[in-house]
Amino acid sequence: MRTVIAQEKENPYRDSIVQLFGVVMTADSLRGVPAASVIVEGKGRGTITTADGVFSIAVMKGDKITFSSIGYKNNTIRIPANLAGNQYSVIQLLISDTTYLPATILKPRPTREQFERDFLNNRLPDDAYEIARKNTDEAQRRILLNSLPADGREAVNFQLKQQTNKYYYAGQVPPMNIMNPAAWADFISAWKRGDFKRKK
């Protein structure tokens, strides 16, 4: 009996844990705010609301709780330190946060001819289809291959291929491709592509 009394005196925060639950709603239409953040200040933890704006989290008496969501102003409450019991329910209303963008002035072109000229000369960024088409072009791939350095996978594969050839012909003379028709065909194709031209 003395041990239990001593433990109760040594742990003054035994009854300070509170189950906080409630719903986060919009102030104008009283609709639940989904995926709103419920953060315990200074504790590095929190939760988010459900699709209906309902939440539940364990906090301590005296904690500050901040409710936030995109498009709404943040709101902070404090759990009463002298709360009787271990449950606390809230209905938190969030006010819409209006963001004003700078004014934009639209000015027409002086003449129709100038508008047509500017419209035709306007360069739009490439879409995903055009980017993919350019990346699959053989000439573009050759330019990228010659200009970009090899990544880690290409460097490792090249090194492993060299080691494989070295171990494959260990103890013997490697074959010469001087009389290999396939090697000559590859050489002629590379020569026609300009792979052996001096790079400036």
The pLDDT tens digits for 55-101 are 999 999 999 999 999 989 999 999 998 888 889 999 999 999 887 88
pLDDT given at position 36: 94
What is d(CA 58, CA 43) in angstroms, rounded to the nearest whole number? 12
pLDDT given at position 6: 45
Q: Does residue 47 register a pLDDT over 60?
A: yes
Task: Give the chain's count of helices (H) and strands (E).
Answer: 6, 7
For range 146-173, the mean pLDDT: 84
Q: How confident is the model at residue 54 (pLDDT cuts 50, 70, 90)?
A: very high
**Domains present along the chain, CATH in parentheses:** 2-94 (2.60.40.1120), 107-166 (no CATH)
Q: Which is higher by pLDDT, 164 or 4?
A: 164
Instruction: Of 43, 46, 7, 6, give the one whose Cα is nearest residue 24.
Output: 46
What is d(CA 164, CA 159) in angstroms, rounded to the nearest whole number? 9
For range 13-37, the mean pLDDT: 89
Q: Which is higher by pLDDT, 177 or 119?
A: 119
Output the CA angle 190-192-196, nearest 5 degrees. Answer: 55
Enclosing H/E stretch for 99: none
Q: Which is higher by pLDDT, 198 or 187?
A: 187
Q: How confident is the model at residue 140 (pLDDT cuts 50, 70, 90)?
A: confident
pLDDT given at position 75: 93
Q: How confident is the model at residue 134 (pLDDT cuts 50, 70, 90)?
A: confident
Q: Does residue 177 register a pLDDT over 90?
A: no
Query: Tokens 């239409």 belong to which residue?
Result: 29
Long-range contacts formed by 136-142: CB under 8 A, 24+ apart: 142/193
